[in-house]
Structure 1
Amino acid sequence: MRFHIHTFGCQMNAGDSRWLARALRARGWEEVESDQAAAHVINTCSVRAKPEEKVASLAGRLAPVVRRNDPERGFVAVGGCVAQQKGAWFLERFPHVRLVFGADGLAGAPGAMQRVADDPAERLSLLDFADGFLSRPAYWEGERVPPQAFVTIMQGCDNYCAYCIVPYVRGRQKSRPSAEILAECRELAAKGAREITLLGQNVNAYGLDPEGDGTGFAGLLRAVTAIPGVDRLRFTTSHPKDLSDEVVAAFGELNNLAPNLHLPMQAGSDRVLRRMGRRYDTARYLSLVEGLRAARPDITLSTDLIVGFPGETEEEFQQTLDLVAHVGFESSFSFKYNDRPGVAAERMEGKVPEEIKADRLARLQALQDELTEASYAARVGAEADVLFEGASRKPDPDGGVSWMGRDPWGRVVNMPSENGTDLTGSIARVTIIEAKKHSLSAKPAGSPW
């Protein structure tokens, strides 16, 4: 059967979608463009309201597509966080939605999709939370392994930050057995993956839950970096309260641990952080930044930020601006606060008017643009080792083929190749020749281009 997966949200969702696609291809299904597919999967995100609204809109628009491509068996499956939150609503609202599954239902989704495809009258719901991490085959056999691969190490979160819906839609934290993680990483490296990213809602807490097998996150990092063929290791996402001294030290001790870290700050006001339930203050956050830069002076940091949290004053927002400038984040993901159903902040007083949130977000993003521009401009003339992932989406201005990769700090680098040589999967020394808004342009190091 021909299928297409629409993915919203975080890297965890992207990794889940890639796994589901491999699992369906292993069953003989064919992955095609959206307008050609009879089976559509919408992998959803409910961290913010806008993606949730997009999901409902997309589900409605897909009805004529599935009817046209397979009037009898065509269907839509809705998975992920919004499905966990509103699964029954999708089944009631859209007759062509015949499967809903949450994060813990993902392992059973390929089989459920086969059942739905085989029986047009079948409608299924996989929304129960599991007691432990549900293992699943990697399905790499016969698949081309990309140069950069993603490995899930845990599921769920135990932090219950006041604004966050993740624990309610992904469940409590469950760590994956370390032996399974290492086996998958070894398989990926043997098949040609040169960079691995470890994924979890809070990777720093890996192994601290009852599902842990005695391996902590720092120990896992050391074990993965020791695997032959793993040239780079990254991980996301981190919670500052769980970032241990051992993990900080690892940045200075493990040469193939990439020198960049996404460390969500969320706000620069201690009062706002307390109301958010983050369980750290700005002094703790800055001490982590100091430790990271002492361990690895060239490390770059990115972050998440929320503006307009209930009760946030202009002075407190200014504290966020000051801290962002002080840390000098190379990039950030910033959002206006919005209520999510059932979380503590939904019931808080002092909601900030929309126009004030919009103004604060614009000012924050303008500051971040300045920081990013300065950081990227400082790279011009420098050399870096770039792992090329494939052809660039933007054509080479001279009519040749341009290739896209990332430097050790995670920046996107585009470079044409001599004689059109395919650079996919190679690591090449380059010289940065131009800084753009969100990427760098390069030439081969030592080249007269």
Structure 2
Amino acid sequence: MKYHISTFGCQMNVHDSEWLARALDSRGWTAVPEDEAQVFIVNTCSVREKPEQKVYSELGRIAGRLRDIPEGFAAVGGCVAQQVGRGFFERFPFVRLVFGSDGIANAPNALERLAEGSDEKVALLDFVSLYEEREQAEGETVRIAETRQAFVNIMQGCDNFCSYCIVPYTRGRQKSRHPEAVIEECRMLVRSGVRELTLLGQNVNSFGLDKGGVGVSFADLLRSVAAIPGLDRLRFTTSHPKDIAPEVIAAFGELENLCPSLHLPLQSGSDAVLKRMKRRYTRERYLSIVEGLKQARPDIALTTDLIVGFPGETEEDFQETLRVMKQVEYESSFSFKYSDRPGVAALNMEPKVSPEEASDRLTRLQNLQNAITGNSLKKQVGNRTQVLIEGVSRRQDGGGTWWKGRDPAGRIVNLALPHEKGMTGLMVPARITEAKKHSLMGERTGEPW
């Protein structure tokens, strides 16, 4: 069967789609471009309203393609599937399967049953109390990215119930994987040629603190994965400030292959807003974490998430966010205007910030971030680093072929190399020569490896 997966939203969804593709490949299915597919799988996100609307638009396009494919059908997974559920069957009759984040483990079998001619409509929407291990490919069936980077899910769901967030309602309560299952998957990927691993979870710092935990903390897991022979780089995301342990902070100064980069969502610099958000940390606590991280690893690059226009946010609240941005000097940030999501506590909070004021604040925040990012990139000029090549760069001028990669902190670096192909997945020693608006330019200083 020929299939195509469209993915919306976070890196967790990207990882879920990659796993689903491997599972289908192992059953003899074939991944193809959209215009060749018989089965269309849409992996969805509902964190904000716009991605949700994109899903409906995508299904509208798929409807047109399926008119000429009698045996074809569609499946919808992820957060919008969990939220809308069987409603997709009524609105889009060609949708034959909906599955939530806990139901994805059984999605390959359901898809195979439907492809064999079953006329049923399948809903895999039940939450489970313990993490259900997914089938893993072995040996030659392992499909790794050409970049030799991979993501490993270490947990599912979230117990935090921040007042603006729909994740606990669409991904369920927190469920940690057994640490040995995580470590074995990491070993398998490194044996298969992966050089960089990223551990994934809604809140990796709380790994093992749910009833599925077996006494292994996230710091313990981090050290075990870092010790795998052949692993060049290790990252993790996302990290909730309220749960980050001193041992995790210390690890940045102790584990050589733990990259000097961390995504540490702030959301707001105002204690009053943080309290309404139910983030369970203060500005002072957050800044103390930042101080500890910079002491452990002075070259650490911090990124963050920021929400403007949260109900009740005043101009002074917003200014406090800007002050924290200036103090921390984030390398980059993901920033958004607050939007109501169904079922969350913030839906009923007042007063709402007007769309015009929220837009103005977002513009001012992003202008500040651009300035901070620019200054940070300029400080890298002259530094020597290692660049893991991810592919050919869009920039192609001058001699040689330009390639794009990332330094250990995750910054994009463009290099002109005397190779037209075969560089993806290699590590290149380089010196930074120039800072652009959102990336760096460099020159090779040694042989790729």
| TM-score (norm. length: structure 1) | 0.96
CA deviation string 1:73-100 (max 9, x = no partner): 1111110000000011111100111110
Change (3 A) 1:224 1:65: same
1:204-215 to 2 correspondences below 5 Å: 204-215=205-216
Distance 2:10 2:57 in 1: 20
Instruction: Give, in angstroms, the shift of residue 380 of structure 1.
Output: 2.1
Aligned to 2:38: 38
Return 437-446 or 200-209, whichever deviates more. 437-446
Instruction: Give, in angstroms, the shift of residue 398 of structure 1.
Output: 3.8
Aligned to 1:179: 180
SS in 1 for 2:67: helix
Instruction: Give, in angstroms, the shift of residue 339 of structure 1.
Output: 0.6
Instruction: Give, in angstroms, the shift of residue 143 of structure 1.
Output: 3.5
Aligned to 1:367: 368
Instruction: Give, in angstroms, the shift of residue 30 of structure 1.
Output: 1.1
Aligned to 2:190: 189
Aligned to 1:145: 144
Distance 1:421 1:48 in 2: 39
1:219-234 to 2 correspondences below 5 Å: 219-234=220-235
The answer to whether the Cα contact below 8 Å between 2:401 and 2:418 also exists between their aligned partners in 1 is no
Distance 1:418 1:439 in 2: 21
Task: Output the aligned Cα RMSD.
Answer: 1.4
SS in 2 for 1:9: coil
Aligned to 1:131: 129
Instruction: Give, in angstroms, the shift of residue 421 of structure 1.
Output: 5.1
Distance 2:134 2:118 in 1: 26
Stretches of structure 2 that go unaligned for 5 or more consecutive residues are: none
Instruction: Give, in angstroms, the shift of residue 133 of structure 1.
Output: 0.4
Runs of 4+ in 1 over 6 A off after TM superposition: none
1:436 matches 2:440: no
Distance 1:39 1:404 in 2: 33
1:99 matches 2:97: yes
1:159 matches 2:160: yes
Stretches of structure 1 that go unaligned for 5 or more consecutive residues are: none
Instruction: Give, in angstroms, the shift of residue 442 of structure 1.
Output: 1.9
Distance 2:20 2:141 in 1: 15
SS in 2 for 1:332: strand
Instruction: Give, in angstroms, the shift of residue 236 of structure 1.
Output: 0.2
Distance 2:21 2:92 in 1: 23
The answer to whether the Cα contact below 8 Å between 1:207 and 1:213 also exists between their aligned partners in 2 is yes
Aligned to 1:8: 8
SS in 2 for 1:420: coil
SS in 2 for 1:428: strand
Return 421-430 or 265-274, whichever deviates more. 421-430
Distance 1:368 1:358 in 2: 15
The residue type equivalent to 1:274 in the other structure is K
Instruction: Give, in angstroms, the shift of residue 400 of structure 1.
Output: 4.8
Instruction: Give, in angstroms, the shift of residue 117 of structure 1.
Output: 1.5
1:279 matches 2:280: yes
| TM-score (norm. length: structure 2) | 0.96
How many pairs align? 444
Instruction: Give, in angstroms, the shift of residue 418 of structure 1.
Output: 1.6
Aligned to 2:344: 343
Return 438-447 or 119-128, whichever deviates more. 438-447
Distance 1:359 1:36 in 2: 44
Aligned to 1:21: 21
Instruction: Give, in angstroms, the shift of residue 395 of structure 1.
Output: 5.1
The answer to whether the Cα contact below 8 Å between 1:154 and 1:174 also exists between their aligned partners in 2 is yes
Aligned to 2:263: 262
Aligned to 2:412: 412
